[in-house]
Amino acid sequence: MSSGYNKPIPVPTPESDVFWEKTKQHELWIQKCLNCNKPFFYPRMNCPNCLSDNLEWFKTTGLGTLYSYMINHRPVPGFEEDAPYAIAIVQLDEGPRMMTNIVGIENTPENLILDMKLKVVFDDVSDEIAIPKWEPV
């Protein structure tokens, strides 16, 4: 747990609590529809493809690729020491995309090559919350 963490902290809701409960265990879980079999993210109570509520949470491989990114040179409060830092989109091997930060590598255009393979890691920002981030494989 980092002391003096000043970045925004997510607060789980009834729809997302499984997601954040699993990240705390350093696992990345998303949902899939048992009716049409499609995985999806963000957490929902109905499938965005067929609206079925016959859903299940499953553990992803934690592997993905770099879909796109920007490198922010004007940090928001809490991110001053990180700038310039990449705000990125990872495409999970299971299909869905999510926003993230890229860790374990200097965030430069030379280092960040689209479609490079990434794996999920977790940043324990408090006793209750671990934020998924991604690093090069």
State the residues that interact with other proteins by CB under 8 A: 4-13, 16, 42, 67-79, 82, 84-85, 87-89, 97-101, 109, 114-115, 125-126, 131
Instruction: Output the smallest distance, CB 123 to other proteins, in A.
Output: 9
CB-nearer residue toward other proteins: 20 or 62: 20
Of 79, 93, 88, 131, give the one whose Cα is nearest residue 113.
88
CB-nearer residue toward other proteins: 45 or 99: 99
Instruction: Output the smallest distance, CB 48 to other proteins, in A.
Output: 10
Instruction: Output the smallest distance, CB 121 to other proteins, in A.
Output: 14
CB-nearer residue toward other proteins: 62 or 112: 112
Instruction: Output the smallest distance, CB 115 to other proteins, in A.
Output: 8
What does the alpha-carbon distance between residue 88 and residue 68 come to, in Å, rounded to a whole number? 6
- Per DSSP, the residues of 15-84 read TTHHHHHHHHTT--EEEEETTT--EESS--SS-TTT----EEEEE--SEEEEEEEEEESSPPTT-GGG-S
